[in-house]
Structure 1
Amino acid sequence: MTEGRWWHPARHRDRRPFLLQRGQIRAALGGWFAGEGFLEVDCAALQVSPGNETHLHAFATQFLTDDGRRAPLFLHTSPEFSCKKLLAAGETKIVDFAKVFRNREQGALHSPEFTMVEWYRAGADIGEVMEDAVSLCRTALSATGREAFEWKGRACDPALEPEHLTLVEAFNRYAGVALESYLDDSKGFLTAAKTAGVGVPDDAAWTDIFSAVLVSKIEPRLGEGRLTLLQRYPVCEAALARACPDDPRFAERFELYACGVELANGFHELTDPVEQRARFEADMVLKQALYGERYPVDEDFLAALSVMPDASGVALGFDRLVILSTGARSIHDVQWTPVET
């Protein structure tokens, strides 16, 4: 039935108000970054490595050279590696409104191709970029003239002071699980998760238990009424963030939530190439065990880390921000030409 396709005139008329507001939000965010002195960059999507996080899945392709060689390449899952190379090159405040690609992702809030707003501040701590993320939420909503974010009957007013919550606090409050007690105890963590009513298989890895509790018990409760900044992730769940100086079991990572929806993910960036390589290799071992594949390490990226300045950065899902700001029903409402399979 063609009536259901995005290009059908009736469906396009239905989606068009959201698409026009998408443009208004894009202009507003561009103005905010310009006002803060950011340089807008445009990172290449084709990379030798798409990223090395266990649960991110990439699209693979090949570059056919003139002499007949086949060089494997990937569509990036984030412009992160390229942006950090630009920091190493000497840039200090950059933002990319990047098209990114993630396999195995489709749904009301997921698309295999989407827009990510990724920005970095050299010399900044994680608190500064958290403030950026909150300001961008306020800017986006203001561009639409609406009073609150909305998603599936929930509302969130980004003008209110955001809630700051650590992972330890969140696991205790919403799941009754003492996360700090199980950082090195997969068996105990599994038992605690099952006691909390979370369905996880007996052979689940620690990271899968963590994700199951987070997704089922915690995320739906975040960003109710006001934004939530979820902070201090276990270091094994923050592959590119530096460890907290007061407790190396945790990392300087945060995620921003509104209406139970994750909007942004930020790090105080790890710049130690030796530690970064070790984390990548550990993640790829786990990826091989879970999914039967692994991605190459970008050696050029690791080399750039040795001269990259101290910095903090954030990746924000632009399409999701538009959904919540406009009251749209799905990511397909806010993309001009959505991927529909």
Structure 2
Amino acid sequence: MSIHYQPTCDLAAIQARARLYAQLRTFFAEREVLEVETPILSQAGVTDVHLASIQAQRHVLGQKQTHYLQTSPEFAMKRLLASGSGPIYQICKVFRDDEHGRKHNSEFTMLEWYRPDFSLKNLMFEVTDLLNVTLKARFGEIRPTILSYKHAFMDRLELNPLQASLKDLKDCCRRVGLSLDLGDDRLAYIDLLFSHMVEPSLGFDTPVFLTDFPPEMASLAKTKLDEDGELVAARFELYIEGLELANAYDELIDADVLRSRFEADNAERAEQGLHIMPIDEYLLAALPHMSECSGIALGIDRLLMVATNQMKLEKVITFPADIS
């Protein structure tokens, strides 16, 4: 039996990753953003129904416990922010169970950073500066555009996702040939239409900051009223060539509201027969001590895909999950 032991990417991709890490560290050092490191394993994981944490068993002080590989370093980094760290960033491994494909691997590399007292607009400016460092060799000067989730949806499907009824969404799915039955899950139909009909068209002429998501997608972001007086999530995502690269929040720092969101997630998990996740009490205790803040998570592997003009994630990582 012959075993293929070599990496799926070539040496040039490995070298490009090393250059990218150097660029990122220089970028943040020049802005006096502190590099930090937090644990990969924790007692509590993300409650988001659409994310599956990988469990691990370990002994702590002689007691066997179930811990979780991080899907993001967010919770621990917010505890540092609440303790007075100032602006911080981290380059780290994160894990999401059973995510594999052209754009996914269950282990991947994330750049996450937090800016106290930054607005989302300030953060967009900083992301633009970062893109003009890391992607300059391929694109030259980059000038992203800003587009709301609602208007992206309306431009492509002539449907306002903030107002559309379940029937409207199902009718739209039939009209565009999406026949998947998602029951009465309105948000799932919105996500289905977005992922198949809207997302693939984003960011080809220029990178796009997609803003003002439906409020049900707020996750750990604040909510606000948009220019039409409709409630939206105060967050943005970055798209280049149909690929989502980053996800940013105007961070929610109200511990009571966040607890209610965690509990609602777990109720939905119970309804769907999914694992109930422990709530991170350390994070909730920290939030009252955290200042107003914007934060962002950016997929380094996907950024490398764009920088090196690759279509598959396996071309920029050494050993995907199926051969690691």
Tell me if both proteins adopt one fold, taking TM over 0.5 as the criterion: yes
1:40 is matched with: 35
* Structure 1 residue 214: Cα displacement: 0.8
Equivalent residue runs for 1:51-200 within 5 Å: 51-67=46-62, 69-142=63-136, 145=137, 147-148=138-139, 159-182=141-164, 185-200=165-180
Q: Secondary structure at the match of 1:340?
A: helix
Structure 1 length-normalised TM: 0.88
Q: Secondary structure at the match of 1:96?
A: strand
1:262 is matched with: 244
Q: Secondary structure at the match of 2:89?
A: strand
Q: Secondary structure at the match of 2:49?
A: coil
CA contact (8 A) 1:94 1:120 kept: yes
Q: Secondary structure at the match of 1:306?
A: helix
* Structure 1 residue 54: Cα displacement: 1.5
CA distance in 2 between counterparts of 1:291 and 1:237 reads: 21
* Structure 1 residue 303: Cα displacement: 1.0
Q: Deviations over 1:210-243 (max 9, x none)?
A: 1101100100010012001100011111210001
Counterpart of 1:20 (choices 15, 24, 39) is: 15
Counterpart of 1:333 (choices 299, 308, 315) is: 315
CA distance in 2 between counterparts of 1:269 and 1:336 reads: 34
Q: Deviations over 1:288-341 (max 9, x none)?
A: 333522211101111111111110000000000011101234222222343225
Q: Which moved more, 1:169-178 or 1:117-126?
A: 169-178
Segments of structure 1 that go 5 or more residues without pairing to the other structure are 149-156
Equivalent residue runs for 1:209-248 within 5 Å: 209-245=189-225, 247=229
1:154 is matched with: none
Counterpart of 1:205 (choices 161, 164, 185) is: 185
CA distance in 2 between counterparts of 1:66 and 1:28 reads: 40
- Distance change in 2, residues 1:285/1:2 (3 Å): farther
- Distance change in 2, residues 1:179/1:66 (3 Å): closer
Equivalent residue runs for 1:248-327 within 5 Å: 249-290=231-272, 292-327=274-309
Q: Which moved more, 1:77-86 or 1:294-303?
A: 294-303
CA distance in 2 between counterparts of 1:95 and 1:248 reads: 33
Q: Secondary structure at the match of 1:85?
A: helix
Q: Deviations over 1:168-196 (max 9, x none)?
A: 101101122221322xx434433333334
| RMSD over aligned Cα atoms | 1.9
Q: Which moved more, 1:313-322 or 1:301-310?
A: 301-310
CA distance in 2 between counterparts of 1:258 and 1:196 reads: 24
What letter corresponds to residue 216 of structure 1 in structure 2?
H
Q: Secondary structure at the match of 1:71?
A: strand
CA distance in 2 between counterparts of 1:2 and 1:137 reads: 42
CA distance in 1 between counterparts of 2:2 and 2:96 reads: 27
* Structure 1 residue 73: Cα displacement: 0.5
- Distance change in 2, residues 1:121/1:65 (3 Å): closer
Q: Which moved more, 1:37-46 or 1:185-194?
A: 185-194
CA distance in 1 between counterparts of 2:76 and 2:60 reads: 23
Q: Secondary structure at the match of 2:113?
A: strand
Q: Which moved more, 1:171-180 or 1:303-312?
A: 171-180
CA distance in 1 between counterparts of 2:256 and 2:173 reads: 34
Q: Deviations over 1:37-84 (max 9, x none)?
A: 1000011101112212110111001222454x2222100100000111
CA distance in 1 between counterparts of 2:60 and 2:32 reads: 40
